[in-house]
Structure 1
């Protein structure tokens, strides 16, 4: 007579056997999976106000734009006065103005800030000009100041960009 092979209390047979406990566990697992899938679909990410990431360092002190604006407003009329436009002197004059503005602005710039000084000069004639700039930066730490000086002969636009370096 042949006996069925056994492994302790477990018997091996060709017929599938189902237990109530196993069915209840499978039902619970299926319910949990459905709930997880529904939660993933229901999650909507909404950015209310753009902020720098929490791991990014923030400046302890921000740039005082009013002090830079005051420097530009007082320096340009004093330096330019009633100069006449001379296209041969403009390259060296623009370089000189840029260096002098940079040295004055560096005195009021907080630590860990870098700056860029951009000077544009041209003759005043019958034409119009538009100067536009666009930057990609952190709006919480970076900024700029621009000032225009004009007289009867020429115009001069000075823009100072300040960027916080981490």
Structure 2
């Protein structure tokens, strides 16, 4: 290895990392540590180092927005609207799908993203939305209970829970709408 220090040189590894991270201001830079010519990034992506040392452009301009002092939203969270959206997306996406344990994680993330996108289009400004979708198998008739506890404002914050099942699987979508003042 010419001109490149590896992890075996413990004292020099921090110098290599810091030299790679020194870039022009405002630029995000990343690097991976190499070991004997192999790129560790391919084996373990958690070893990637990202430096966000400089402030963003908005922070540099130091823009101060005036407080609105709004304690209630312009449009209240309507659980029945959100429930219809979640039911439709679960029904359309899952239909007569078969349960596959390997695909459930990515499928639940995808469904959660779809539900959130659709809800955002309903115009709930100043609401933080959280959506959790769980998918499981109906094989051997499992018993499941979902529970949650929240500390919120009873006048502005809401949640909905939607269940869907077919012959092979079940899905539960929980959406929380929290007013952000």
Number of the residue aligned with 2:133: 119
* Alignment match of 1:139 (pick from 148, 154, 171): 154
Deviation at 1:113, TM superposition (A): 0.8
Structure 2 counterparts to residues 51-90 of structure 1, below 5 A:
57-90=71-104
Query: Gapped runs of 5+ residues in structure 1?
Result: 1-54
For the residue of structure 2 that corresponds to 1:119, the secondary structure is strand
Number of the residue aligned with 2:42: none
Tell me how many residue pairs correspond in the alignment. Answer: 112
Structure 2 counterparts to residues 149-164 of structure 1, below 5 A:
149-164=164-179
Query: Gapped runs of 5+ residues in structure 2?
Result: 1-68
**TM-score, normalising length from structure 1?**
0.64
**TM-score, normalising length from structure 2?**
0.59
For the residue of structure 1 that corresponds to 2:155, the secondary structure is coil
Deviation string, structure 1 residues 135-163 (Cα, Å, up to 9, x no partner): 11000100011100001111100011000
The more displaced of 80-89 and 121-130 is: 121-130
8 Å CA contact retained: 1:123, 1:153: yes
Deviation string, structure 1 residues 88-144 (Cα, Å, up to 9, x no partner): 111111111111111001111421111000111111132211111111100010001
* Alignment match of 2:143 (pick from 117, 122, 128): 128
Distance 1:81 1:58 in 2: 38
* Alignment match of 2:110 (pick from 96, 111, 127): 96
Instruction: Could you list the structure 1 runs, at least 4 aligned residues long, displaced by more than 6 angstroms after superposition.
Output: none
8 Å CA contact retained: 1:65, 1:144: yes
For the residue of structure 2 that corresponds to 1:158, the secondary structure is strand
8 Å CA contact retained: 1:142, 1:164: yes
- The two structures, once aligned, show a CA RMSD in angstroms of 1.4
Deviation at 1:57, TM superposition (A): 1.5
